Amino acid sequence: MANLVTSTFNGNLTGATHILDGQSDMSEWYKLYHCADAPDASPAYSAGFLHVRTPIPTKIADGMGWNPYILEVTGYHTYSGEYFHNFKAIVNTNGDNDAFYGSQVKIDRGNASSQPYVYESTNTYGGKKRLCFSVGKMGCCCVGWLWVRWWTNAGKRTDFAWATTGGASRTNAYF
């Protein structure tokens, strides 16, 4: 059984983390505490979205080309867990032209509030584009927890920190 790595995250972070430093095909579960407001959601308590930037690089040169990953996310947002998340997404980069594919989401269809969306960052962090995703949340800075891990057929060392932010759009790239 993989070790559980527990960290607390509020807003954008800096630092380095090293994950999958071996032959395993699955990362540890990363437990993320979050309290990201959605300042552009109106009214203040309307539904918003939590955007998470993972440390996973997404380009051919960084190991993802023709090498599909599975991103797995479970958790909740708000004290009562009204926004519950439990999904897996297949992510890949086309080995011919570095085109990112990330919207192949398998979800618990009974939970309409989650609305997960997976995307590649538009900016570079540590010189690399990163795997990002969004999930539904309350528009307020209500707290929650996410557990995140990924599967790949090769060990992958990551070299950048996680970050979260809130926003009104599910599909706009906030990173």
> Over the stretch 102-158, which tens digit does the pLDDT of each residue have?
866 766 655 667 888 999 999 999 999 999 999 888 766 677 788 998 888 655 556
- The pLDDT assigned to 150 comes to 86
Q: Which of 9, 58, 26 is nearest to 166 (CA)?
A: 9
> Over the stretch 14-69, which tens digit does the pLDDT of each residue have?
333 444 444 567 787 888 877 766 655 555 455 688 899 998 889 988 888 888 88
- The pLDDT assigned to 132 comes to 95
What are phi and psi for residue 114, nearest 5 degrees? -65, -55
Q: Are 95 and 66 in contact (CB under 8 A)?
A: yes
Count CB atoms within 10 A of the CB of residue 104: 13
> Over the stretch 75-84, which tens digit does the pLDDT of each residue have?
887 766 677 8
Taking residues 146-174, what's their average pLDDT? 80
Q: Which residues contact 130 (CB under 8 A, 6 or more apart)?
A: 53, 54, 55, 56, 57, 58, 120, 121, 160, 175
Just give the CATH number of 26-167.
2.60.40
